[in-house]
């Protein structure tokens, strides 16, 4: 049993160390790399005197087919530039919806989507643009016939309208591309909510493939999953993260395909007639999805935020576009509860507070058992030391007497660890929910927090979180005998405070409230044991 006690300590320490490393890697490694890359891109852009890259020179691709008729990329792609500006000479039609501005380029692709709602602004207070200027663009068509395909990247499309106003009602746009051997026609209907219906057809039954494009590139970090996800006819989900696709892969019978970062998606869906998809890796092994269009295909699409209500309004199955990782089965109902509470409270910050309290109340029986076990072990610590000293040369007798001691006093060395382990899935689920919830974007709480999806500008919440973590540590019974282990735990509040300085305020708020109520629970347990000790004396 003494071995079990040591195992408990090692598991606790390992869990905390892994989590600290998880945070440290993002801040100390990935963030500097991203900043250096951004600085280099900015320098390159300045040297080019802010001239936007030529779409044709960047995106022109040659495609042939393999023996199965799947598209094979024969181009040499270049590293993505950071600039999101598109030359006006490359835009043939601009569509305005109530929630976005969509720009169509000379090859009939979606060149850029700008979110127009007030809350969707970047760090420079500009409306968020979803795509890099030279990435694989949504609605790009590639032909099975290599000669026609080459022609398709040289001939401009003709748009039926240069400007489309779909802010209050649906509007149609027709894009026609007359090629050597076929005419490609895209008939689009845009709706005020930003989604669209599309029929793509060719004459002479020329076979083609069409893509939903590379994912939006607004926020892609190590915390949240980003890459590709598809829902199949059997309702299973297939997710491939960026950097994880090393060869072509076929998907037969898909309801939707989505390319996404933390908050945004470009999704194509058809719930009446399933889609066949070929995934192709780019030069960085990122997944790129191509739908087998045949000579005529119809589907719907949406490019924008992964807002739960907006996706559900299009089709309830599109909620699966939001991927919470391993604990999705817990995270989904937890988000629904969060959304339900917010419907009554009206403020996302106070909703997080209420949800945290509810979770603490539901998990209190588990927490109570763990805290009671820790108190018992603390009371038995002197006797445990005596046994360890008396039988230090006989581990078998030491374990036997330890087991007798635990049995006599009803203590369980794993009692403090097991409840913690059982709560881990719940913790990570709420962590993923708050990390992926675009609903927190632009949502205020109190007078100094104006955006729960961004860091606390005055570091109030991280400091409070660190202070409560320190206080919680001080009042929690510590049964550790090793001085090094004690020092590691004593230093953790400082480490966590440091890294939480840059965490989204909503996530830090959750952790702070969680600590606050854990302190209350611990005070209660401590007082119960103090009364019992007083009664014995």
What local confidence, expressed as pLDDT, does residue 24 receive?
A: 52
What local confidence, expressed as pLDDT, does residue 397 receive?
A: 80
Mean pLDDT on 320-338:
88
What local confidence, expressed as pLDDT, does residue 415 receive?
A: 58
Select the more confidently predicted residue: 348 or 51: 348
Which sign does the torsion angle of CA 349, 350, 353, 359 carry? negative
**CA dist., res. 1 & res. 402, Å (int):** 7
**What's the number of CA atoms in the CB half-sphere (13 Å) around residue 18?**
6
Report yes or no: 92 and 78 within 8 Å, Cβ to Cβ: no
Q: Which two tokens stand for residue 103?
A: 């720009």
Q: Pick the closest to residue 433 from 337, 530, 294 (CA basis).
A: 337
Helix, strand, or coil here: 219?
Answer: coil
pLDDT tens digit string along 54-91?
Answer: 323 333 344 444 434 445 443 433 343 446 888 899 99
100 has pLDDT over 90? yes
429 has pLDDT over 90? no
Where residue 422 falls among pLDDT bands split at 50, 70, 90? low
What local confidence, expressed as pLDDT, does residue 388 receive?
A: 78
How many Cβ atoms are within 10 Å of 424's Cβ, its own excluded?
Answer: 11
What local confidence, expressed as pLDDT, does residue 23 receive?
A: 52
Domains of the chain: 2-28+332-536 (no CATH), 60-323 (2.70.98.90)
What local confidence, expressed as pLDDT, does residue 417 receive?
A: 63
What local confidence, expressed as pLDDT, does residue 480 receive?
A: 58
Report yes or no: 238 and 300 within 8 Å, Cβ to Cβ: no
**CA dist., res. 357 & res. 360, Å (int):** 5
Q: Pick the closest to residue 179 from 213, 212, 210, 145 (CA basis).
A: 145
| Residues 457, 463, 468: CA angle, nearest 5 degrees | 145
Where residue 479 falls among pLDDT bands split at 50, 70, 90? low
What local confidence, expressed as pLDDT, does residue 20 receive?
A: 55
Helix, strand and coil in the chain, % to nearest 5: 45, 25, 30
Q: What pTM was computed for the model?
A: 0.78
């Amino acid at each position: 049993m003494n071995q079990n006690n040591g195992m408990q300590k090692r598991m606790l320490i390992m869990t905390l160390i892994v989590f600290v490393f998880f945070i440290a890697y993002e801040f100390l490694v990935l963030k500097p790399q991203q900043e250096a890359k951004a600085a280099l891109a900015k320098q390159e852009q300045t040297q080019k005197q802010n001239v936007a890259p030529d779409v044709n020179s960047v995106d022109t691709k040659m495609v042939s087919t393999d023996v199965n008729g799947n598209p094979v990329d024969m181009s040499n792609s270049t590293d993505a530039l950071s600039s999101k500006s598109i030359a006006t000479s490359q835009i043939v039609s601009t569509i305005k919806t109530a929630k976005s501005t969509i720009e169509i380029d000379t090859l009939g692709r979606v060149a850029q989507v700008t979110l127009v709602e007030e809350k969707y602004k970047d760090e420079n207070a500009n409306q968020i643009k979803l795509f890099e200027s030279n990435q694989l663009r949504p609605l790009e068509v590639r032909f099975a016939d290599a000669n026609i395909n080459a022609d398709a990247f040289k001939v401009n499309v003709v748009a039926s309208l240069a400007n489309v106003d779909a802010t209050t009602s649906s509007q149609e746009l027709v894009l026609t591309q007359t090629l050597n051997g076929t005419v490609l026609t895209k008939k689009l209907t845009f709706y005020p909510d930003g989604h669209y219906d599309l029929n793509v057809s060719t004459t002479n039954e020329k076979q083609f493939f069409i893509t939903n494009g590379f994912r939006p590139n607004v926020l892609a970090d190590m915390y949240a999953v980003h890459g590709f996800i598809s829902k199949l006819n059997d309702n299973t989900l297939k997710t491939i993260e960026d950097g994880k696709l090393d060869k072509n892969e076929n998907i037969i019978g898909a309801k939707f395909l989505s390319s996404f970062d933390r908050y945004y998606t470009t999704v194509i869906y058809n719930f009446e007639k399933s889609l066949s998809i070929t995934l192709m890796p780019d030069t960085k092994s990122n997944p790129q999805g191509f739908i087998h269009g045949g000579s005529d295909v119809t589907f719907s699409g949406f490019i924008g935020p992964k807002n739960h209500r907006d996706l559900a309004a299009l089709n309830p199955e599109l909620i699966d576009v939001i991927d919470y990782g391993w604990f999705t089965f817990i995270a989904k109902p937890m988000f629904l509860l969060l959304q339900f509470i917010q419907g009554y409270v009206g403020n996302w910050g106070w909703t997080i507070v209420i949800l945290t309290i509810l979770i603490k109340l539901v998990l209190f029986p588990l927490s109570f058992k763990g805290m009671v076990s820790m108190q018992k072990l603390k009371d038995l610590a002197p006797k445990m030391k005596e046994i360890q000293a008396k039988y230090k040369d006989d581990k078998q007798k030491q374990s036997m007497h330890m087991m007798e001691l635990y049995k006599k006093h009803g203590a369980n060395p794993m009692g403090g660890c097991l409840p913690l382990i059982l709560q881990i899935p719940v913790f990570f689920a709420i962590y993923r929910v708050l990390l992926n919830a675009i609903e927190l974007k632009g949502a205020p709480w109190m007078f100094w927090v104006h955006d729960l999806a961004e860091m606390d500008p005055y570091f109030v919440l991280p400091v409070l979180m660190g202070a409560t973590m320190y206080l919680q540590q001080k009042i929690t019974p510590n049964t550790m005998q090793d001085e090094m282990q004690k020092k590691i735990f004593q230093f953790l509040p400082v480490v966590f405070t440091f890294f939480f300085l840059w965490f989204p305020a909503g996530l830090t708020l959750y952790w702070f409230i969680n600590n606050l109520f854990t302190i209350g629970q611990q005070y209660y347990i401590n007082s119960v044991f103090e009364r019992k000790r007083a009664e014995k004396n």
